[in-house]
Chain A
Amino acid sequence: MSESSDRFSQALKEILSGGFTRTVLSIILGFLVGALFMIGSDKAFIESLGYFFSRPGDAFGAAFAVVTDGYGSLFRGSIFNGEAETFEKAIRPLTETLRLSAPLILAALGIGLTFRVGIFNIGGTGQIISGMIWATFVATRVELPFIIHTVVAVIAGVLGAALLGALTGFLKARTGAHEVILTIMFNYIMFSFFNFLLKDPLLLGEEASTGNAKADPAAASAVLPKILGDSYNLHWGIILALAAVFAFWWLMERSTIGFRLRMVGENPDAARSAGVSVERVHILAMGLSAAFVGLAAANQSLASPLGIFPSAHANIGFDAITVALLGGSNAPGILLAGLLFGAFKAGAPSMQVFGVSPEVLGIVQGAIVLFIAAPPLIRLLFRLPPPQTTSVLSDIRQKLIRRGGVK
């Protein structure tokens, strides 16, 4: 088992060491793939194919139009709407992007942390739900003064998620069970448990229950305050995210804790010989990872004007994996990748208005990460030089593995 997880983390290391050029190229390629899908599903383009050889210009024109319309509306929906009457309305999309980026960035920091330690936290969803349970409990069932209520609810969310994460790490360290299996199973358990809690007014459900699985909105004293006044939805979540990005950077790059986390990720044998308990670091890493995810949970719980539904995890736990991979699991990378994916979320509705299926954005996202995760493919496409091998030994080892293997 250890051998297979070795290979796992080896592949991960290669993916994360992608470098800037490859990331940018992957994003461009991702958009091109999305463009192909838009063209292929465009009515005008398909009709023009019928007389392609007599007037090919029509087909190209249609293709060009649908792509510019699609991505144009994406831009207007996520960054700046030049067609709006007032400046306030024109920058509204940007604030939406920031709002929707916040939980993605927060959760991706958590997932990225485990990638750096050489383990895989696929349990973002379960952890976000666990965090939401705690945060929602504090926000709807506890009475506290303004600000303090918010702070306590955020802390509760972090704790709720971190405990589940640390439990996963503990089970891994104790039993040797693979964290991927553990976290996936906890996703199921937490999702059903959450549903169960939300259905019962005595537990987390609405007090004036309508029979739906749904919680009350967070108490007014507990909501994350708006930043730009009531005309925008943007709230303190993005500030939380920026602070978390800074905390992540400090933790991973500056602190001795992060040093040990990275050491275990790079070479667990050397870490063990250097007196670091690899098992304990794994527990710590899962706990810290889930703590970041817990901030995303607090963001979901405390900013929802209607109260949370079972689907309030909004698939952030999984999207965060792609954000972390795209961002190379480092603080600035995750910030930028989170903003990009937040923009996709913000822009999707306006694309739909234009008649372009917003699923195209899912394809773009998937394609970007696919290209990131397939380094040889992207190297081939752009004729990039192969990465420098560090030693003759690793050369030999690779050759052995490729040719059926000896050692």
Chain B
Amino acid sequence: MKLELRGITKRFGTLVANDAIDLVVEPGEIHALLGENGAGKSTLMNVLYGLYDPDEGEVLLDDKPQSFDGPGDAMEAGIGMVHQHFMLIPVFTVAENVALGQEPTKALGALDIAEAKKRVVDISERFGFNVDPDALVEDLPVGVQQRVEIIKALSRDARVLVLDEPTAVLTPQETDELMEIMRQLASSGTSIVFITHKLREVKAVADKITVIRLGKVVGSAKPDASTSELASMMVGREVGLTVEKNSKQAGDVVLSVENLAVLDDRGQRAVNGVSFEVRAGEILAVAGVQGNGQTELAEAIMGLRSALTGFGKITIKGSDMTGSSVRQVLESGVGYIPEDRTSDGVVGAFTIAENMMINSSYKSRFTKGVNINFSARRKIAEQLVKEFDVRTPSAVTLAGKLSGGNQQKVVVARELSRDVDLLVASQPTRGVDVGSIEFIHERIVIERDKGKAVVLVSTELDEVLALADRIAVMYRGKIVDIVSPETSREQLGKLMAGVEA
């Protein structure tokens, strides 16, 4: 079935999540939708699946305009979706899960389990899925659960299959198996929309690639396009970012990481034998396409994620901090700007002033014994609001009421106003307006000029080039190379794709 999206625009308040997106998926084609997190891929697919009404534009199937009132309509029309998080009932069997929602029945509404099993076996055999219809879903490995989701979609006669970040939860072997399945489905005529931010997979399986950035289609490519081309298309930014900055005056080693290995939430090695040093007065940028272990690396430095025992060592200012608690790391003089500010950076229901003290509530300028020093807190907060240009009615406004950029300024103000020697900044300007980006960049450079060591984790190539004194490029859990910021974009793109120089 041919799928066409024409000029889809979806706005949430002032945020334009999708801006006039056009997309054509031919029958039997595997069409990769490539983009960073938050680029608008999922929103687009939710429009397609009837979860959102587009503000403008239309969805066409086989050149006929469609209007979906909900996922039910979309399924009816032949669209199947496999979500990143499975929609399966763990205590039901495979057959029961597949039957759910359109259960085959015998007389008096009794469930026809035999028929349900037969459906599973039919599809499973046709595509070589190798799934036991009687197995309980909770007993199955994640990769097989995903196949159950695909069977579910196919049993409803889906001829357009949307896979939303399907490999995010899979091991590399399971990923390879999934790609095989995708190829088979495509050769039997199913159109597949494959959403991902992983270049390797796109190149391996896609027939056509559309790159989305900040809600817009920024280009399309064939899978034989070079990875560096795709990478720069994905992470580039049109707004030129330049920050005035003196040449570095590097001092002593502040942070040293040796042979660090860290597991991600799935128990896979996200960081695999990484070593580097950061000196006082320099900014080390950790660059790379998202999901190559940068997040886990930053979390490991902060003590939020433990390093694999027996491997690696983290030393901060000469003392071994491997296995330390977050509090110990923070109190040893480390500032941390977390990647996801709404979940990790601020407490939305707290005021700005309260947010200024969330990581210094034990013994600090905000406390007086076990009492909170309210007058000091108000004074400090008011001063920081002014200094960091947080646009807010007052310092006692709830942080949750601020815009993303201003929330981020609260986080930055909090971390930079503490007396730290090392700043770990993870995606410090993600989802922040251009004005705030400039401001935050300037502040980071000021800290570096004051002699602080900075680790900047960023997937934005422009940000990396604007700020870094040295650039460590990560690919699949390893640092491919550490290069100077004079390195060409093309060269960086190659490194990000795992091609060693």
Residue positions of A touching B, CB distance < 8 A? 13, 254-257, 259-260, 262-263, 266-267, 269-277, 390-393, 395-396, 399-400, 403-407
Could you say which residues of chain B place their CB within 8 Å of the CB of A404? Answer: 51, 71, 87
B302 at the interface (CB under 8 A from A): yes
Q: Give bound CA distance, A135 to B108, whole Å.
A: 62
Interface size range of chain B in the complex: 35 or more
A residues near B348, Cβ cutoff 8 Å: 266-267, 390
Residues of chain B contacted by A266 (CB below 8 angstroms)? 347-350
Q: Which residues of B contact A403 (CB under 8 A)?
A: 51, 70-71
Stretch at the interface among B148-156, B178-186, B322-330, B385-393: B322-330
A267 and B46: CB pair below 8 A? no
Of B57-65, B224-232, B352-360, B469-477, the segment with at least 4 beta carbons within 8 Å of chain A is: B352-360
In the complex, chain A residues whose CB is within 8 Å of the CB of B361: 256, 259-260, 263, 274, 276
Alpha-carbon distance between A270 and B342 when the two chains are bound, in angstroms: 8
Q: A399 CA to B50 CA in the complex, in Å? A: 12
Q: Which A residue's beta carbon lies closest to that of B340?
A: A269
* B326 touches which of A259, A273, A395, A406 (Cβ 8 Å): A273
A331 to B358, CA, bound (A): 23
Tell me if B345 counts as interface (CB < 8 A to partner A). Answer: yes
B85 in the interface, Cβ–Cβ < 8 Å? yes
Q: Is the CB of A256 within 8 A of B370?
A: yes
A260–B330 Cα gap in the complex (Å)?
Answer: 16
Residues of chain B contacted by A391 (CB below 8 angstroms): 400-401
Give Cα A390 to B13, complex, Å: 12
Contact A275 B347 (CB under 8 A): no
Q: Are A256 and B371 in contact (CB under 8 A)?
A: yes
> What's the Cα separation between A400 and B359 when bound, in Å?
32
Is B253 in contact with chain A by the CB < 8 A criterion?
no
> In chain A, what residue has the closest Cβ to B334?
A275
New contact pairs (12) apart from A259-B361, A263-B358, A267-B348, CB-CB < 8 Å? A255-B370, A256-B367, A262-B350, A267-B346, A275-B326, A275-B329, A391-B401, A392-B14, A392-B15, A406-B46, A406-B84, A407-B85
- In the assembled complex, the Cα of A272 lies from the Cα of B366 at a distance in Å of 19
Residues of chain A within 8 A of B372, CB atoms compared: 254-256, 259
Asked whether any CB of chain A lies closer than 8 Å to the CB of B42, the reply is yes
Interface string of B366-408 (1 = CB under 8 A from A): 1100111010000000000000000000000010110000000
Bound CA span A272–B358, Å: 10
Of the candidates B84, B302, B344, the one having the most CB atoms from chain A within 10 angstroms of its own CB is B344
Taking the nearest CB of chain B, how far is it from the CB of A18, in angstroms?
Answer: 15
Query: Could you write out 21 A-B pairs with CB less than 8 Å apart?
Result: A254-B374, A255-B371, A256-B362, A260-B361, A263-B347, A266-B350, A267-B343, A267-B348, A269-B343, A272-B344, A274-B358, A275-B327, A275-B359, A390-B401, A393-B12, A395-B12, A396-B12, A400-B51, A405-B87, A407-B84, A407-B85
Main secondary structure of the interface of A (DSSP, over half): helix
Chain A residues whose CB sits within 8 angstroms of the CB of B46 once the complex forms:
400, 406
Q: A275-B327, A395-B12 are in contact. Are A406 and B51 (CB under 8 A)?
A: yes
Most B CB atoms within 10 A — which of A256, A259, A404?
A: A256
Asked if B336 and A273 make an inter-chain contact with CB atoms under 8 angstroms apart, the answer reads yes
Q: What are the residues of chain A within 8 A of B350 when measuring CB–CB?
A: 262-263, 266
Q: Is the CB of A273 within 8 A of B401?
A: no
Give every chain B residue within 8 A of A395 (Cβ-Cβ).
12-13
The complex places the Cα of A395 from the Cα of B17 at a distance, in Å, of: 14
> Which of A271, A404, A406 has the largest count of B CB atoms less than 10 A from its CB?
A406
Taking CB as reference atom, which chain A residue is nearest B81? A406
The CA-CA distance from A246 to B345 in the complex, in Å, is 32
Cβ contact within 8 Å between B330 and A270: no
Q: Residue on B with the closest CB to A17?
A: B349
CA distance A86 to B164 in the complex (A): 79
Is the CB–CB distance between A273 and B304 below 8 Å? Answer: yes
Within the complex, which residue of A274, A396, A405 is in contact with B359, where a contact is CB–CB below 8 Å? A274
Q: In the complex, A28→B358 CA distance in Å?
A: 40
Is B203 at the interface (CB under 8 A from chain A)? no
**Whole-angstrom distance between the Cβ of B33 and the nearest chain A Cβ:** 15
User: B35-55: contact bitstring with A at CB < 8 Å (1 yes, 0 no)?
Assistant: 000000010001000011000
Most buried by B among A263, A267, A277: A267
List B contacts of A269 (CB < 8 A): 343-344
Q: In whole angstroms, what is the CA distance A41 to B241 when docked?
A: 77
Chain A residue numbers with a CB within 8 Å of B362 are 256
Chain B residues with CB under 8 Å of A271's CB are 347, 358
Question: Knowing A269-B343, A272-B326 touch, does A259 contact B359 (C-beta < 8 A)?
Answer: no
**Is A273 touching B338 in the complex (CB atoms < 8 A)?**
yes
Q: Is B83 an interface residue (CB 8 A)?
A: yes
**B13 contacts across to A, CB distance below 8 A:** 392, 395
Chain A residues with CB under 8 Å of B398's CB are: 390
Residue B419, interface by CB 8 Å: no
Decide yes or no whether B331 CB sits under 8 A from chain A: yes
Closest beta carbon of chain A to B43's beta carbon, Å: 9
- CB of B350 to closest CB in A, whole Å: 6
Which A residues touch B400, using CB under 8 A?
A: 390-391
How far apart sit A406 and B12, CA to CA, in the bound complex (Å)?
A: 17
| B373 nearest in chain A by CB position | A256
Q: How far is the CB of B366 from chain A (nearest CB, A)?
A: 8
Closest 7 CB pairs of A and B: A275-B327, A274-B359, A392-B13, A273-B344, A274-B358, A275-B326, A390-B400
Least CB distance from A343 to B in Å reads 33
Tell me which of B358, B374, B401 contacts A270 (CB under 8 A). B358
- Determine the distance from Cα of A406 to Cα of B358 in the docked complex, in whole angstroms: 31
Residues in chain A near residue B344, CB distance under 8 A: 269-270, 272-273
Is A393 touching B342 in the complex (CB atoms < 8 A)?
yes
B100-135 residues with Cβ-Cβ distance < 8 A to A are none
Q: Which residues of B contact A255 (CB under 8 A)?
A: 370-372
Instruction: Return chain A residues, CB-CB under 8 Å to B327.
Output: 275-277
Q: Is the CB of B304 within 8 A of A392?
A: no
Shortest CB–CB separation between residue A180 and chain B, in angstroms?
20
- The answer to whether A259 touches B357, judged by C-beta atoms less than 8 angstroms apart, is yes
User: With A and B bound together, what is the CA distance between A403 and B357 in angstroms?
Assistant: 38
In the bound complex, residues from chain A placing their C-beta under 8 Å from that of B328 are: 275
Chain B window 168-193, contacts with chain A (Cβ cutoff 8 Å), 1 for yes, 0 for no? 00000000000000000000000000
A404–B46 Cα gap in the complex (Å)? Answer: 12
Q: Do B354 and A259 touch (CB < 8 A)?
A: yes
Q: Is the CB of A270 within 8 A of B345?
A: yes
Name B164's closest neighbour in chain A (CB-CB).
A406
Q: Which residues of A lie under 8 Å from residue B345 when comparing CB positions?
A: 270, 273
Question: For residue A400, which residues in chain B have a CB less than 8 angstroms away from its CB?
Answer: 46, 51
Measured CA separation A270–B343 after assembly (Å) = 6
In the docked arrangement, what's the CA distance between A266 and B52, Å?
29
Q: Does the CB pair B347–A270 fall under 8 Å?
A: yes
* Of the residues A260, A273, A277, A406, contact of B325 by C-beta under 8 Å: A277
Most buried by B among A259, A405, A407: A259
Instruction: Give CA–CA (A267, B398) in the complex, Å.
Output: 14
B12: chain A residues within 8 A (beta carbon): 392-393, 395-396
Min C-beta distance of A89 to chain B, whole Å? 46
- CB distance A275 to B325 under 8 Å? yes
Q: Which residues of B contact A396 (CB under 8 A)?
A: 12
User: Which residues of chain B come closer than 8 Å to A406, judged between CB atoms?
Assistant: 42, 46, 51, 83-85, 164
Q: Smallest distance from the beta carbon of B324 to chain A beta carbons, Å?
A: 10
Shortest C-beta distance, A43 to chain B (Å), equals: 48
Which residues on the A side are within 8 Å of B84 (C-beta)? Answer: 406-407
Once the chains are docked, how many angstroms separate the CA of A290 from the CA of B171? 45
Once the chains bind, are B331 and A275 in contact (CB under 8 Å)? yes
Residues from chain B with Cβ under 8 Å of A276 in the complex: 326-327, 358, 361
| CB-nearest residue of chain A to B337 | A273
Bound: A405/B88 CA distance, A: 13
Chain A residues with Cβ below 8 Å from B336 are 273
> What chain A residues lie within 8 Å of B347 (beta carbons)?
263, 266-267, 270-271
Residue-by-residue, is B300-340 near A (CB-CB < 8 Å gives 1, otherwise 0)?
A: 00101000000000000000000001111111000010100
Residues of B within 8 A of A260 (CB): 361
The docked-state distance in angstroms from the alpha carbon of A339 to that of B334 is 49
